[in-house]
Amino acid sequence: PVFAGMNGSAIQNFSCVIYNVSFMNCTWQAGRDAPADTQYFLYWQNSREHNVMECELYIKDENGRNTGCRFKNVKIKNNRAYFWVNGSSKDSSIHLYDEYIQLYKIEKLMPPSNITVNCDEIKNDCIIQWQRPQTSHSTIDKCFKYEINIKYK
């Protein structure tokens, strides 16, 4: 079966973050009981219509074991993406780890851009304007909430 493998051999603490609109980093830790020679491999599928992709650029620990991956050109679709990490060892079979993730929930948003401040001392008011953050998953302005923190000096 697909889930066969030694207990405690699957990866732990899997997490991903999307940043700068189209980059994604995923990281994990080796299974606590995984043999020393275990190597892990990450695959993901953005949605059912997309091809399965293996990590192109692994992040390695000091022992050369894959503990993360860097992706570029990531596009966020409405569907959830499917991730799985399998492993290989000459000593034993390794448990598969898998997870569905809604990518928009792991995106670290860019700051707003083109911020302008125009103050009128006579009227004693200021107009602050900006453009919404660039993001790969939404072009709808009403999706964003902003907070302005004004410090008087």
Output the pLDDT for position 144: 81
Output the pLDDT for position 148: 87
**Model confidence pLDDT, tens digit, residues 32-58:** 988 999 999 999 998 777 789 999 999
Give the H or E element holding residue 35. none
Judged against a pLDDT cut of 70, whether residue 29 lies above it is answered with yes
Judged against a pLDDT cut of 60, whether residue 3 lies above it is answered with no
Give the H or E element holding residue 43. strand 39-45
| Amino acid at position 41, single letter | F
Q: For the chain, what is the radius of gyration of the CA atoms?
A: 22
CA distance 91 to 31: 14
Percent of all residues in the chain with a pLDDT value above 90, rounded to a whole number:
51
Output the pLDDT for position 5: 76
Phi, psi of 34, deg, nearest 5: -70, 140
Q: State the chain's mean pLDDT as an integer.
A: 88
Percent of all residues in the chain with a pLDDT value above 70, rounded to a whole number:
93
What architecture is domain 12-105? Sandwich (2.60)
Nearest to 66, CA basis, from 95, 37, 44: 37
CA distance 83 to 121: 55
Output the pLDDT for position 153: 65
Nearest to 96, CA basis, from 24, 48, 17, 43: 43
Lowest mean pLDDT among 10-14, 37-41, 145-149: 145-149
